[in-house]
Amino acid sequence: MRTELPVCKRCFCLPLRYGLLTWGYIRLGLSNFLFITMCVSFYLMLKLFITEEKVSLNIARIVIAVCLLLLLITDIVLNVVFITGGHKKNVKMLRVYYIYSFILCILLFLMWIASVVSTLFEFSIGEIELTFHIYIILVDSTTMLALVLAQVCDLLLVRSEIIKLRNQCEFRFVNNAAEAQCTLKCEQLNAEEGLEHTYERSEEYK
């Protein structure tokens, strides 16, 4: 059985493009905030690295922190690309962000698995208690589920905007035999602004 993905027309009760731009600015602000927070946490982690004895565990934490920092930097850059593409109605830029969002969904799932494995490892060596272990897994699972659902929603909205922009320009060839001419007619309709532009070119047959 084959089903087609829905094509959304609105985002947050706003026209699709404006809603996506609003979401893009919100994500950019959140990414910058998380990046600053992670930089501070990474600095504190490096200070504690010298004092603690369990070097292997600290190295694993630092590797995870570096991966998160790189992911946040990539997210900030591609959010800027997305906002620029949304303002300019550039399909290529939006498609780059669309591919990134799809990859991010996979990375979020892998990060959730890594977090659960890390928690199980710390529990096995006696670093954390059972109740705290269950609490961490529940919090991680709930947070990751919310992030994945938000990312899937983002994917559907960006896909809908790409489809809309590609369908805005329609080419039609009309051959009027009586007048012996060929007409190329391009109609571009901007649904958000309510403007319609029509371009025509006619050539007489020789």
pLDDT tens digit string along 104-141?
888 878 877 877 777 777 667 665 566 766 777 787 77
Instruction: Match 């290529």 to its residue by tokens.
Output: 92
Please report the beta strands in the chain, taking only residues with DSSP state E, as ranges in sequence order. 10-11, 14-15, 169-176, 181-190, 195-204
The single-letter code of the amino acid at 123 is F
- 30-to-21, 110, 135 alpha-carbon distances in Å: 14, 21, 25
pLDDT of residue 111: 77
Taking each helix axis as running N to C, give the angle between helix 16-51 and helix 130-167, from 0 to 180 degrees, rounded to the nearest 10: 150
Q: Is-above-0.85 flag for pTM?
A: no
Q: What band does 83 get if pLDDT is binned at 50, 70 and 90? A: very high
Dist. CA 52–CA 15, nearest whole Å = 53
Listed by start position, the domains of the chain span 10-167, 169-204
Strand, coil or helix: 115:
helix
Q: What is the pLDDT of residues 145-169, one digit of tens each?
A: 887 788 888 888 888 888 888 887 5
